[in-house]
Amino acid sequence: MSADHVRTDSASLQMYGTDGSKRGRPADVVVLPDGSDQVAGVVRLCAQHRIPLVPRGAGTGYTGGAVPVNGGVVLSLERMNRILEIDEDNLVAIVEPNVITGDLQAAVERIGLFYPPDPASLKQSAIGGNVAECAGGPRAFKYGTTKQYVLGLEAVLPTGEIVETGGKVVKNVVGYDLTHVLVGSEGTLAIITKIVLRLVPKPPVQSTLRATFRTVSEAANAVTGIIRERVVPAAIELIDRDSLDAVARHLGVRSLAPDGTGALLLLEVDGLAEAVREEADRVERACRRAGATEVLRARDESEREELWRMRRELSPSLKTITPIKFNHDVVVPKGRIPQLFELVDHIKADYRLRIPCFGHAGDGNIHVNIMVDDVEEEIRRAHEAERVLFEGVVALEGSISGEHGIGFAKSTFLTIELSADEIALMKRVKQAFDPQGILNPGKIFPQ
């Protein structure tokens, strides 16, 4: 490693000290290794001197997973960004961690294959970060999240050894499944340096529908109806009225849906043409039966793009409400979505907050966006509301995070969902990987 591989200028230390949450603290030094041997070298040096070490992909996380909260070395994997192999016969891709997820998708789709996980950040986020956080996205309902696609890893342990887990085969039951201990471990157990991913054939045809409803409850009934029709759409996105209003304001139009719309579903089915037609019919039938006020079906790719545009504009449009957003990716069993919205309505009233919601209704994974101005008293109310939200979600047999992870931003809420015994066990697992506690300290567990 040369001087090019190390950065100590204050702009870099700032930039590598934060993530998509815009919170953090500056790194003490940033290193940019070229390969796993160099990663191991950095790790051994940090281990010897007990220096905190924080692995970092593209830095698009929302919970501070890549942020050096205790200072130390930020190890950016950005130079390790090659697609090493796309093995068409074995339906496998082997990649370095900082391949951008969208670039990998484009590369495999060019030869008729498909890597399904599609977090909203896919044009910016690195596949290594997707693995470390177990990223989801709209398609997870049909296709599963990142963990369903990781067959094997190369990783550097915080004690300096390079290990390989799993491999090129889908079936492998030799020893413990270390691959799936590392997926979603938020960079606290090992540094991922190579990833073996399972691919599937690209579905040749999509059909996209948009259905509007008077209430969230009717939209949720439509989702149940679709499942009772035994259809698994590739996406079922739910958007509530406050979110729709924000997008309309952002795009400068009066309205995006019929008057009186309380919720909108964006639905997509995919597969072979014949099956897609049949499934789209069933979806439409289920929506109408649940009381849809309007069902549109895209007739071509440009109409499909137009329907998806609203979904893509959601995140930026929330800025028209307030400058600060506490974005929570809670999840409940999908039959309980109406109860989740009732809970949010209570919180809105009790804490006088605007809380637009949208998300992946098929998974019960709803993004609850607590919007606040930069006013201390309002931020305090938002934090009280967060705790009520999380306690309510766990009471509904849900989880406080379906996609974003815990990082440092949610670590104080961990005890709402996990028992003391469960947390103690996880800490013993952490100890098994990282006896000195140098790797990504201050994450997941309350400090």
DSSP 24: B
Strands (E) located in 68-107: 73-76, 83-87, 92-95
Which CB atom, from 32 or from 220, has the smaller least distance to a second copy? 220
Which CB atom, from 147 or from 250, has the smaller least distance to a second copy? 147
Contact pick of 346, 399, 412, 437 for a second copy (by CB under 8 A): 399
DSSP 354: B
Contact pick of 211, 231, 257, 382 for a second copy (by CB under 8 A): 231
388 lies in the site for a second copy, by CB under 8 A: no
290 near 213, Cβ under 8 Å? yes
Using CB under 8 A as the binding criterion, the count of chain residues that bind a second copy stands at 92
Which CB atom, from 161 or from 305, has the smaller least distance to a second copy? 161
43 lies in the site for a second copy, by CB under 8 A: no
Radius of gyration of the chain (CA): 22
Q: Which spans in 20-121 are helix H?
A: 36-49, 101-109
Contact pick of 39, 73, 75, 91 for a second copy (by CB under 8 A): 91
409 lies in the site for a second copy, by CB under 8 A: no
Residue 134 CB, nearest approach to a second copy (Å): 5
40 near 162, Cβ under 8 Å? yes
397 φ/ψ sector (left φ>0, alpha ψ -120 to 50, else beta): left
25 lies in the site for a second copy, by CB under 8 A: no
Residue 90 CB, nearest approach to a second copy (Å): 4
Which CB atom, from 242 or from 434, has the smaller least distance to a second copy? 434
Residue 363 CB, nearest approach to a second copy (Å): 5
Neighbours of 395 (CB within 10 A): 12
Contact pick of 17, 119, 271, 442 for a second copy (by CB under 8 A): 271
First to last CA, the chain: 34
Tell me the window of 54-62, 75-83, 174-182, 247-255 that interacts with a second copy (CB under 8 A): 174-182
Contact pick of 8, 48, 431, 447 for a second copy (by CB under 8 A): 431
Query: Among 188, 192, 78, which residue's Cα sits nearest to residue 411?
Result: 188
Rounded distance, CA 6 to CA 39, Å? 13
Which CB atom, from 280 or from 372, has the smaller least distance to a second copy? 280
Tell me the window of 24-32, 95-103, 161-169, 309-317 that interacts with a second copy (CB under 8 A): 161-169
Rounded distance, CA 145 to CA 330, Å? 15
84 lies in the site for a second copy, by CB under 8 A: no
Q: Write the CB contacts of 152 (distance below 8 Å, at least 6 apart in sequence).
A: 164, 165, 166, 167, 168, 179, 195, 196
Contact pick of 417, 439, 440, 441 for a second copy (by CB under 8 A): 417
Contact pick of 164, 281, 342, 391 for a second copy (by CB under 8 A): 164
237 lies in the site for a second copy, by CB under 8 A: no
Query: Among 346, 382, 356, which residue's Cα sits nearest to residue 249?
Result: 356
Rounded distance, CA 396 to CA 344, Å? 13
215 lies in the site for a second copy, by CB under 8 A: no
Rounded distance, CA 186 to CA 433, Å? 13
Residue 31 CB, nearest approach to a second copy (Å): 23
83 lies in the site for a second copy, by CB under 8 A: no
Please provide the DSSP assignment of 325-343 as one string: EEEEEEE--GGGHHHHHHH
289 lies in the site for a second copy, by CB under 8 A: no
41 lies in the site for a second copy, by CB under 8 A: no
Q: Locate 42 and state its tokens.
A: 């950095």
375 lies in the site for a second copy, by CB under 8 A: no
Residue 2 CB, nearest approach to a second copy (Å): 29
Residue 106 CB, nearest approach to a second copy (Å): 17
Strands (E) located in 300-416: 324-331, 357-360, 365-372
395 lies in the site for a second copy, by CB under 8 A: no
User: HSE (CB half, 13 Å, CA atoms) of 244?
Assistant: 23
Tell me the window of 4-12, 41-49, 292-300, 428-436 that interacts with a second copy (CB under 8 A): 428-436
219 lies in the site for a second copy, by CB under 8 A: no
Q: Locate 84 and state its tokens.
A: 């090493």
Tell me the window of 9-17, 19-27, 70-78, 178-186 that interacts with a second copy (CB under 8 A): 178-186
Contact pick of 9, 259, 274, 377 for a second copy (by CB under 8 A): 274
Distances in whole angstroms, Cα of residue 422 to Cα of each of 106, 181, 352, 427, 444: 40, 15, 35, 9, 13
